[in-house]
Amino acid sequence: MVTDSTAKARNWWKFAFFVALVAFEVAREEVIVQAHEPSTGNLFDMQSNGNMVSAEGQWFRSDSGSPLVSNATAIQCEKDTKTCIEAQTTLLNYDVRTAYASISVYDITEFTDTSVTYENDSAICATYRVHIDLAQKRVTASTDLKQTSEKVCAKIEAHIPMELSDSIRRQQSNGPWMEGHFLPLLRLIRHQ
């Protein structure tokens, strides 16, 4: 004859199996989430003291065009010298071995209490413009294709809008990367 205590003793493995299955699923989902977490990349920062303005971050496209290569950018503008220095480090294919750095000096076209603007029109194919909005703490830029018959310019996009931003905030931690993964526990937690 089977008693309640005997039946419970025989079915302990069902409970243990369920607990082990949930623990495995939590571990699997944690590995997927960690693989897609944003790196501790560039943080956006902007400082101003009236005579000097500086900004740091990473350039991102502000439209739906193809993404820019990974970069870290620092800008420093001085009212007295009427120049902006833009230093940039770029990683091709996210590989440190393919990194290169550049430092460019630009003439300021406008320096007010609320904004700084500079541009480079000396390139053959495009004009590069940067606008630093101190009130909104925002740095935007654009590259606009010039009217030219140069063959090297033929494949360049007509307009590339950019914004200097925080790489951590810009990456979508709950974005489209989840669509390709079966994450039932994470989805259940997110929707409650």
Task: Compute the radius of gyration of the chain from its Cα atoms.
Answer: 26
C-alpha span between 20 and 189 (Å, rounded)? 19
CATH number of the CATH domain containing 129: 2.40.160
CB of 102 within 8 A of CB of 69?
no
C-alpha span between 111 and 51 (Å, rounded)? 9
Domain count, the chain: 2
> Domain check: are 111 and 178 in the same one?
no
> Domain check: are 114 and 33 in the same one?
no
Residue 158: predicted pLDDT: 92
Strands (E) located in 14-61: 45-48, 52-61
> Domain check: are 10 and 61 in the same one?
no
> Domain check: are 82 and 164 in the same one?
yes
Q: What is the pLDDT of residues 153-185, one digit of tens each?
A: 888 889 999 999 886 555 444 445 555 666 666
How does 144-173 read in b/e, with b if 16+ C-beta sit within 10 Å?
Answer: beeeeeeeeeeeeeeebebbbbbbbeeeee
pTM for the whole structure: 0.65
Residue 18: predicted pLDDT: 72
Q: Range of 123's domain?
A: 45-170
> Domain check: are 97 and 144 in the same one?
yes
CB of 55 within 8 A of CB of 46?
yes
Q: Is the pLDDT of residue 77 over 90?
A: yes
